[in-house]
């Protein structure tokens, strides 16, 4: 588990803030907030929002695509497993979001199908960015992905804990159904300190 972004990941994130004029920079956010990079997003219910709209509550985030049948369902299952280890008040205080790396196919309807299939509760947002924002969001979150000729993607499978202002507090590689206990402990600690 990595407790904070360092080295290349932070350099890429900060570089993106100054090198991509097409992206707006949000006001009054910490300099290391991932919400500094504004991206247009559509949720599974069709609601339009931008990445800074996710600010205000701690969140566990990741990236995925709906046509994935191996690691992406495991990412969702791992997020649900984190939720199951929380008290009722902790559960209600934590948001979860997965951002598509395949916006061409991940329509709001396709994302809603995933939410329904996995019985995701109201704390979950499945988000479709603009195609032009996918690589930027992946870079800011330090998630690598590559499209394959058969339409699948190789990608980093990770849960990322953000504080209420979008600062990365912890990362946990998804390797099975059970989340890293240290990651869960950090989630709980963050929820206590955010009240």
Our separate counts of H helices and E strands in the chain read 6, 9
62 strand-pairing partners: 98
Q: For helices 71-84 and 181-193, give the axis angle rounded to 10 degrees.
A: 50
Residue with tokens 């849960």: 159
Token readout for 31 is 């300099």
Place of tokens 């979950």: 124
Q: What is the mean pLDDT of the chain?
A: 87
Distances (CA, A) of 37 to 73, 91, 164, 171, 179: 27, 27, 15, 19, 28
Q: Six-digit token pair at 56? A: 């205000």
**Is the CB of residue 137 less than 8 Å from the CB of residue 39?**
yes
pLDDT of residue 147: 86
Is the pTM for the entire model greater than 0.95?
no
- Sorted by where each begins, the domain ranges of the chain are 7-44+54-193
Q: Does domain 7-44+54-193 have CATH number 3.40.30.10?
A: yes
For residues 159 and 161, give the distance between their C-alpha atoms in angstroms, rounded to a whole number: 7
Local confidence band at 175 (pLDDT 50, 70, 90 cut-offs): confident
Least confident interval from 1-15, 89-103, 166-180, 181-195: 1-15
Q: Is the pLDDT of residue 19 over 60?
A: no
Q: In this predicted model, what pLDDT tens digit does every residue of 108-139 receive, in sequence order?
A: 999 999 999 999 999 999 999 999 999 999 99
For residue 23, pLDDT beyond 60? no
Nearest-angstrom CA–CA distance, 47 and 97: 14
> What pLDDT digit, counting tens, does each position of 145-163 carry?
888 898 888 888 999 999 9
């Amino acid at each position: 588990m990595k407790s904070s972004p360092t080295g290349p990941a932070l350099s890429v994130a900060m570089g993106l803030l100054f090198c991509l004029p097409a992206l707006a920079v949000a006001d009054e956010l910490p300099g290391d907030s991932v919400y500094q990079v504004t991206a247009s997003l559509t949720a599974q219910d069709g609601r339009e929002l931008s990445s800074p709209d996710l600010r205000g509550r701690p969140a566990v985030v990741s990236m995925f695509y709906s046509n994935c049948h191996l690691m992406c369902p495991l990412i969702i299952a791992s997020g649900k497993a984190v939720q199951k280890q929380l008290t009722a008040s902790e559960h209600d205080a934590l948001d979860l979001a997965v951002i598509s790396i395949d916006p061409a196919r991940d329509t709001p309807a396709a994302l809603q199908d995933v939410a329904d299939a996995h019985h995701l509760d109201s704390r979950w947002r499945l988000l479709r960015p603009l195609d032009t924002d996918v690589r930027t969001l992946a870079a800011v979150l330090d998630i690598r992905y590559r499209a394959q000729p058969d339409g699948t993607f190789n990608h980093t499978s990770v849960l990322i804990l953000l504080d209420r202002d979008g600062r990365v507090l912890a990362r946990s590689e998804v390797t099975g159904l059970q989340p890293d206990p240290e990651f869960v402990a950090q989630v709980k600690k963050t929820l206590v300190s955010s009240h």
